[in-house]
Structure formats: structure tokens, C-alpha cells
Structure 1
Amino acid sequence: MRMTFRWYGENNDSVSLKHIKQIPGVEGLVWALHHRSAGEVWPLEEVLEVKKQADKYGFHLDVVESINVHEDIKLGKESRDQYIDNYKESIRHVAAVGAKVICFNFMPVFDWTRTDLYKELEDGSTALFYETSKVNQMDPTELIKQITNSGYTMPGWEPERLKTIKNSFKAYEEVDEEQLWINLEYFLNEVLPVAEEEDIKLAIHPDDPPWPVFNLPRIITNERAVERYLAISDSPSHCLTLCSGSLGANPNNDIPGIIRRFHNRIAFAHVRNVRIYDNGDFIETSHRTKDGSVPIDEIVKAYHDTEFKGYIRPDHGRHLWNEECRPGYGLYDRALGVMHLWGLWDAYELVKQERSE
């Protein structure tokens, strides 16, 4: 596996490249132009500037997360073709700095949903929390205010695209899950040929959480959905970002089984642990298996057994030791997560060597 670390860019992240460089085994940055709105072309000069920053510390830019998909594409509006053309141009521009994987999602309106950005755990740390009853009862605009007041740009919750939130909800009254699948396939048929030309894998991220939120359709939610998605095309650029935390929020999802079944189509892996409560609430925890409900040890074993050579990163971490940071993306717990993943991997390597002797 190839270890990476998500970085939000200069002047937009509490974590510096100097800090990331000190985490053992991290070879690349997971990056994006977060100041660019969905649907905009990413200017080549701005992409090259990120490469200049990464080169200073010896990091590659193989993984982009994310070039956001404009809402008109998801809705299937007539205007989608212009936004798809812009997406193609952005693919070409990130290819110019060596990008190999583009992680993206097709979630309507919200890229992810949480009700508390700093819910306290028993040990005094805080983490992202999802409260089912609150989502079922609250006005989405109230949640928007809460998320966007975090002090950082929040991917998927950009103020400019949320200004039209009421119009977006109205538009989705005409789009059910099946229509969303149709719109997704249209998008893929347009962009996959360009991705192939540039030797880039387009790797969709599962829905977070993996069920409908605010009556909006969600489609990448379980093994059956992954199977349907991957059947859309046999292009080598048609791939999956396997997020253990997103799919793992539903205890019925067998994450190690999904990895073993689709391992040759997984281009990028997020490893995150969540603790699921009986009422459907969940909170993000450390990467240690016993701290949550997701079998992190078996997940890493599945990657090891299938000889996974793709990119991986520790996903959301807790907020530790009074660190002031972007919600879910501090330095300390994600660095601990890197070392936990390496520890598991190294242990499985040792067992493999001993068995071969």
C-alpha cells in the first residue's frame, strides 16, 4: 500500500507540509484546489503552484480529492454538458502534475453529513458525530449554518453553492435514485475516455452516510450498489474509493468482504473507524479496532491478502491534546492512524514471511 495524507493547502490547513514530512511512510499528498467552486476549470497555473509546494518536501500529487461534480450534472440539467467539459479540462490539468487517481462523489447537495463537529468522547477528545433524530427533525439550513461556522472551508459545504439550497431541494423532487443512476452513467460515459487518455483512475467515494439524508437520494451505499456501479464500464479508469467509515456506518456492510471481492477495482482507500449506537447514531473514533464498530484489523488484512498496491490514507481523526484544527483533519490522530495502519501491515508481512520459511 502507498501511504498518503490529505492536505488542504497553504493558508487553508492547520497542518503544515513540514509536519506531514515527519510522519513515517507518507509519500504523497491528497490535495485539491479547495477555493475553486464545483464546475469551475482548475487553472493549470494553480495546479502547478501546488506541485511546486509539494516538490519542496518530496511529496507526489498522485491523488486528487476532489474535483467536485457540479449539481447540474447530478440533476441531469441541459447545462450539464458545459460543466462536464470543464471537468474534462480539469482532468487534463491535474494529469500535467502526475495525478493518477481522482476521488469524486455523486452525493446530492451535501458531500457528507454530521450534526456535531466536536462531540466529546469518554477520553476527553472530540470527534465528528451523527445524530439520527436530529437529522430527521432539523431544518437543513440550520445544519448548514452550523457546519459553515467552523472557521475553515468545508468541502461539500461551500457557502456559494449552498446559497441556493432551497432551489436544490426543489430540483431533487424530480430526481429519484434511478434517475440519479442514469445521470451518473451519462457523466461517466463522457469523462472516462478523457481519464483513459490521461492514464487517470476515476474513483467514486461511497455516500456518507450510506442512506438518504433529508429525503435526498443516495446510491453508492452497499455491496450491491458497488457491483452495479462497477458494471457501468470495463474501462481501466473506472474505479472505486473504498471508504471504511462511510460504508461502515451501516453495520450490515461487510467491508473486508467488499475489499476481497472488488480489490482489483479499488484505486484509493480511506480507513476510518466509527462507533455505531443502537439508535443509528455514530461517532468517529481512533483507528484501533476495539474503539469502534468497524473491523480495521480485518480490513487491513484484506488489503494485505489481496496485495493491495493502491493509495491509502487515514481518514477522519479525533481532535487531540487541544489541537485547533479543521474538524476531522487534525495532525495528531491521523498521524497515529498512519502508524496503526503500518503496524498492522508490518505484522501481516511478518506472518507471511514466517509462513514462507
Structure 2
Amino acid sequence: MIPNLEQTFRWFGPADPVILQAIKQTGATGIVTALHHVPCGEIWSLEEIRKRKAAINASGFRWSVVESVNIHESIKIGTGERDHYISNYVETLKNLAQAGINLVCYNFMPVLDWTRTHLDYRLPNNASALRYHAPALAAFDLYILQREGAFLEFNAAQQLAAKIYLDSLNADEKKLLTNTVLAGLPGTDEVFTVEEFKVYLEKYSAVDELKLKENLSYFLSAIIPYAEKLGVKMCIHPDDPPIPILGLPRVAKNEEDLNDIVNMYKSPANGLTLCTGSLGANGANDIPGIISRLGSHIHFLHLRNVNREADGSFYEAEHLTGSTDMYAVMKSVINEQLKREKAGRTDIAIPMRPDHGHKILDDFNYNTYPGYSVIGRLKGLAELRGLELGIKRTLTA
């Protein structure tokens, strides 16, 4: 039988309430983490990398994937400072490679790493899930942020739904919505103010989708030759959600975008993170098909599910029961593994992590990062490993 996918768990470092000893009990063997305490754009020192790796190894894990070495906004915007920050990025890759860490997930989303409107959406069984509610996002954009030109981007029905939603909120609920939408990078408690976010919007005023793609191509052309020499594989994460929001463009939202990215600099070092939740928020994305057509470029798997709604809203579902057919996804992944085995590739055990679990049971007693409770993700991992085993046994019977 072909090797199992490498089962990994995201860990936010020593400050994470989910400790490594708890992750050990999930059955995961790999850790996905980053040096979240190092400011974006600064070089990760070899000393700090080795310190984190030693803590991971001491608990019986391997540091499987770096998620993420975040990209400075000057690179995305294309300012005169970008070459300096690209140089810093290359130095970080050199230090990671020297420490024996060779897989780096990153994203190219402007300003916000991901966007939700609710971090405690209660399901019928009282489990807590993350939610993106389209009328809430529109209410924030139109009436709280008051972004110039926003009314031209929402039709009359959407504007009405947004106003009705806004009028249903009290002052504290409006503040909570603002803080939720403007949350910063995972692994930090950073939240932008409306005024700070408007400054970023102004910086991006001349950056449309085409310009953002050009800036991504510039970045890849600069770093991939180094990554290739170092034996480091880069894998871009799709946009979350996969639509333009708050006046900011998106460049990794569908198969066409992902195909463009792998062709910006053709190299085994220029690859993809396949996130079924991000891509799955748009029903037009054929995820099993994307895997079958672009699978050779996939270095990392985020497996989660969402329940889509007609107005563009969605919430994080159980891993096997949302709008995405996870059976078809996993079967396509396994077929990609078979292709790699036949081709003599060594990267058959693709790292996989269960993404965004619900808060359930004892999870409510811990102040974990949104979507990263331990028991909810354990449930997802157990379901995914069972699905993988069942499909593989069927295919090789």
C-alpha cells in the first residue's frame, strides 16, 4: 500500500494553549508552525529556528511545514522597499534549509490573512464554528468602514440585507464585528483599527488584481531560484475567502489563478497548498478536478469543509459533511499519490493537516486561536485518516 499522508497539526508555539503533549495524543506525527513572535519582514535567525525545532523534536514530532513566513506588504504592493524584504525572506529560507526544514506555506492576501464575521457561530449541537456572513461583511464595509466606492459593489438587495443586519446590532456587537473582520495574522492578537485599515486601503489604491499578480510574479522570480538551490519547496495558500473583499484584490482564488502561479516560475520549488475550505467557499471551484490537473504541484494539504449558502455566506462544517465532497477530494489525492509512486517521486506522503475544527466538549475551557481547538481538530483528523484508509483499502483490494 502507498504511504499514508503525513498527519500534521498546527501549533502556534509556546504560547499556544494547545500544548505539544496534547497534540501527541491525536496521533499526528508532524507539526506545522512558525516563529510568530518575529515581526513580518524580519529575518528568522538560525538560533531561533533551531530553538523551536528542538522543542518540537523533544516532544517526538518533526517540524514538517512552516506556516507561514509572512510576506511584507511592500512586496505585495510593489514599493521601493520590496527588494530589501525579499532579501530578508531569502535569508530566512537559507536559515530554514540549514536547520533541515524544507517546506514553506505562504499566502499573498493583502493586509488580512483570512476574513470571518463570526468566531463563535453556534451549530444545532451547540458546537462553536467560524462563519463568514455576507450581509455582516457588507454591513461593515458600507456603514462602519464606509469605504469609498463600496456602494457600487453591492446590489440593492445586498445593501438592504446589510442595513437590516446593521440595525440589528447594538454598539458592543458592532465593535465585535469590527474586531473580527479586522483581525490580523494567525498566531497574534493583532487587530487593526478602522483608521489603520483605511491607511492600508490607500496604499493599495493603485493595486488591482493584475498588478498584484505582477508583484507575486516578481516575488517568485526573485526567491524560487534560491529555494530550488536550497532544496526548499514553497507552496502558496489560496485566498480565504476566494473573492475580492473590502476593496482588496485576490490572485489565488480559483484553478485559473493557481495555474497562472505555478507557471510564473516553473520549478518543483514553486508549488501549492491545497486548502479545501478556502477553495470550497466558492461552489464553482472543482476541487477534485484541481487536484487531478494540478496535483503534481501540491506540496501541502489543508483539509476542511464549509457549508455554503445562497448569498455567498458559509460556515465551517464538520470535515466530512459540508458542501465539498471530501470522499471525492481524498480519492483524487490518493490518485495523485499513485501517480507520484509510478513516477518514482519521493514526496508521496504529502503533509496533511485537519484545518479549522469546531470547539466541542472540553475545548470551551481553553482560549485557543479561532478554529484551532484541539478536540475539534482531533475529530477531523480521525475522520480524515479513516476516510483515507477506507479508500486505499478499496483501491488496493
Partner of 1:300: 330
Contact kept in structure 2, 1:207 and 1:218, CA below 8 Å:
yes
* SS of equivalent to 1:87: helix
Is 1:4 equivalent to 2:8 in the alignment? yes
**Which whole-Å deviations, capped at 9, do the CAs of 1:115-172 have from their partners, x for residues lacking one?**
01111011100111001111122135955523678xx973587348998422210011
Unaligned runs of 5+ in 1: none
Q: Once superposed, which parts of structure 1, at least 4 consecutive aligned residues long, lie more than 3 Å away?
A: 139-144, 146-149, 152-164
Partner of 1:17: 20
Is 1:241 equivalent to 2:281 in the alignment? no
Is 1:218 equivalent to 2:250 in the alignment? yes
**Which whole-Å deviations, capped at 9, do the CAs of 1:167-209 have from their partners, x for residues lacking one?**
2100111000000010001011111111112101110000000
What does residue range 70-149 of structure 1 map to in structure 2 within 5 Å? 70-138=72-140, 139-140=144-145, 143=177, 145-146=179-180
Residue type at the aligned position of 2:262 = L
| CA deviation after TM superposition for structure 1 residue 353, in Å | 2.4
- For 1:265 and 1:154, locate their aligned partners in 2 and report how far apart those are by CA, in whole Å: 25
Partner of 2:56: 54
What does residue range 300-339 of structure 1 map to in structure 2 within 5 Å? 300-307=330-337, 308-323=348-363, 324=366, 325-339=368-382
- For 1:155 and 1:144, locate their aligned partners in 2 and report how far apart those are by CA, in whole Å: 19
- For 1:231 and 1:44, locate their aligned partners in 2 and report how far apart those are by CA, in whole Å: 31
Q: 2:202 aligns with which of 170, 181, 191?
A: 170
Is 1:283 equivalent to 2:334 in the alignment? no
Partner of 1:207: 239
Residue type at the aligned position of 1:262 = L
Residue type at the aligned position of 1:146 = T
- For 1:161 and 1:54, locate their aligned partners in 2 and report how far apart those are by CA, in whole Å: 35
- For 2:115 and 2:232, locate their aligned partners in 1 and report how far apart those are by CA, in whole Å: 28
- For 1:147 and 1:226, locate their aligned partners in 2 and report how far apart those are by CA, in whole Å: 26
Residue type at the aligned position of 2:179 = K
The TM-score normalised by the length of structure 1 is: 0.93
Q: Aligned pair count? A: 348
| CA deviation after TM superposition for structure 1 residue 280, in Å | 1.2
Structure having the higher Rg: 2
Residue type at the aligned position of 1:305 = N
Partner of 2:43: 41
Residue type at the aligned position of 2:129 = A
- For 1:253 and 1:171, locate their aligned partners in 2 and report how far apart those are by CA, in whole Å: 30
Partner of 1:340: 383
Q: Structure 1 residues 166 and 153, CA, compared in 2 at 3 Å: closer, same or farther? A: closer
| CA deviation after TM superposition for structure 1 residue 257, in Å | 0.6
The TM-score normalised by the length of structure 2 is: 0.84
Quote the sequence identity (%): 39
